[in-house]
Amino acid sequence: MNTNRITQLFNIKYPVVQGGMIWCSGWELASAVSNAGGLGIIGSGSMYPDILEQHIVKCKAATNKPFAVNLPLIYPQVADHIDLIIRYQVPIVFSSAGNPKTWTEKFKQHGITVVHVVSSAKFALKSQEAGVDAVVAEGFEAGGHNGREETTTMVLIPMVANAVQIPVIAAGGIGSGKAMAAAFALGAEGVQVGSRFVASVESSAHINFKKKVVEAGEGQTLLTLKELTPVRLLQNKFYDQVMDAYRQGASKEQLIALLGKGRSKKGMFEGDLDDGELEIGQVSAAIHDIRPAADILLDIMLEFNHATQHIGAIQFPT
């Protein structure tokens, strides 16, 4: 079998999606992944509408393959982003951080495929009821903002796959073909990869951040700031300040003040490794190099094929 519901839904070769990532996934990364046979996503959550427009135009010029826009629904100018997506006929939207009921019907009226990101079976069901075409089920290991439930990918995927009939794309901790094979064994039909693509040549992350991701070891990320929006951060001076604030019993208002404004841009886009916010997943401990996105994707697929053959050959009499 060399197609499945996800490759057919998006009209792509490999069921691998590059996750939308603020400050990291612009048109260069999205088009590189789409050209290599996956699905590239422009992360619109860090873009003003005029910037998103430029990225869509450049992405269209750089690839004739399908690509998507990730739309965090809490974004203040979400309606302007939606107008652009419709005007430029972007074929696929990955919505996150909000209620899929609000916009899905509008997208469907314009023939746009809609995928919603969830971190629980309950919200996967709600997304299916809202009419989305697939869900991304994102586990606790993932980089960026995450669910409060702290359900790991290993536990989440089978629960979501049992709960819904639409296809499930697994996310969180997947940076290799072996991890992709595990996700398929759990019931996923595609994977969404974020952190691994931060450390790609085409990602718009600052080189300081990319190098820091390569250097990251085990246990150096933590899901924190749950009182605000839970986010998985890499250890640095800002992270230590957050930990100190918790030790001193900081209130929600004090945490908001500490976070301030523009921290994620400062860290991930401008490369301030001390005072910036560095969002990355647990899998950063297993990322050892910065490589072209196409090579990352092909390696994942080669390793996936090897892993599934290897596991398929193991049979115990029952």
CA distances from 30 to 26, 41, 163, 305 (A): 6, 5, 30, 24
Q: Kindly tell me the sign of the dihedral angle through the C-alpha atoms of 172, 168, 67, 110.
A: negative
Helix or strand holding residue 247 (H, E)? helix 237-247
* 20 vs 166, beta carbon nearer ligand FMN: 20
According to CB under 6 A, which one of 38, 167, 172, 230 is a site residue for ligand FMN? 172
Considering only 21, 47, 216, 300, the residue that binds ligand FMN (CB under 6 A) is: 21
* Residue 88 C-beta: closest distance to ligand FMN, Å: 19
Size of the site for ligand FMN (CB under 6 A): 32
Rule CB under 6 A: say whether 142 interacts with ligand FMN.
yes
Please give the Cα distance from 119 to 138 (Å, whole number). Answer: 5
Is residue 45 close enough to count as binding ligand FMN by CB under 6 A?
Answer: yes
Site residues for ligand FMN, 84-123, by CB under 6 A, read 96, 117
Contact assessment for residue 52 and residue 70, using Cβ atoms and an 8 Å cutoff: no
CB under 6 A: which stretch of 58-66, 119-127, 173-181, 293-301 binds ligand FMN?
A: 173-181
Separation CA 13–CA 294 (nearest Å): 13
Q: Cβ contacts of residue 152 below 8 Å, gap of 6+?
A: 139, 140, 141, 172, 173
Residue 251: burial class (beta carbons within 10 Å; 0-12, 13-18, 19+): exposed
Per CB under 6 A, does 26 bind ligand FMN? no
* Residues 243-302 within binding reach of ligand FMN (CB under 6 A): 268, 279-281, 283
Binding stretches for ligand FMN (CB under 6 A): 19-22, 24, 43, 45, 70, 72, 96, 117, 138, 141-144, 171-175, 192-196, 198, 268, 279-281, 283
